Structure formats: C-alpha cells, structure tokens
Amino acid sequence: MHIAIVDDEEQIRKALLRLARASGLHAEAFASGQLFIDSLAVKHPDCVILDLHMPEMTGLQVLQHLRSSNETLPAIVITAFDEPQTCARCLAAGASAYLRKPIDDVTLLKVVAEATRK
C-alpha cells in the first residue's frame, strides 16, 4: 500500500514516514498541499494523510480540490487544533477520518487500513 503524508512540519512528516515504513507501508511525504497535488500527475497513492493547518493551502482546501476533481482518494485529516465545526466540515467534504494530534500510532494505522478497504 502506498500512502502520502502532507504536513508542513518536518518533524511530523518524518515521524509519520517512520511509522508507515516500519508498518510495511510505502510512504511519501510532502511539505505542502500544492506539492502533493502536483505529484498526483505522476503517482497515485492509496490514501493521503493531510495536516489541516498549513500555509498557502490548508488540508481542507486540498481535500476540496481532490473532491472537485472527482478524486475519490481516501483522506485522513490530522490537526493539533481540534474544533467541532472544522471536524464536521472535513467529514462533510469527504474525509475518511479526522484525528487530533498527538496521534496514537495504532489508531492511525487502523484508520488508514479502514479507509483503504472501502
């Protein structure tokens, strides 16, 4: 399975890459939503983990772009700033899951597995 990790924080990207690879997943990380979107012309992951709060293009904007392009890629939104209305907006926009940082490794891997099974 190939997953994409989109987070502007280098430490988070590295930690999520280590977790994914240690779990036997092929993973790529992107420092911005636009870099991830641009990569879709070359590679298509099975799932994307999107940080919600990023400069220039938020995780919600990336998700909305994917859905407006009829892209059905499962997306898991992660955030350090949990707000009920934001969670509802992300889920309404098609997010498979919405998780608050710090993220439990087992929970994240379970959510990725569930999202890619659908």
- Listed residue (32, 48, 43, 53) closest to 108, CA to CA: 48
CATH class, range 2-117: alpha beta
Which pLDDT belongs to residue 83?
83
Q: Give the chain's residues under pLDDT 50.
A: none
Asked whether the bond before 45 is cis by omega within 30 degrees of 0, the reply is: no
Chain centroid offset of residue 49 CA: 2
Q: How far is CA 32 from CA 13, 41, 51, 80, 107, in A?
A: 11, 16, 9, 17, 24
Which pLDDT belongs to residue 82?
80
Give the domain ranges of the chain: 2-117
Which pLDDT belongs to residue 81?
86
Which pLDDT belongs to residue 63?
95
22-39 confidence digits (pLDDT tens): 999 999 999 999 999 999
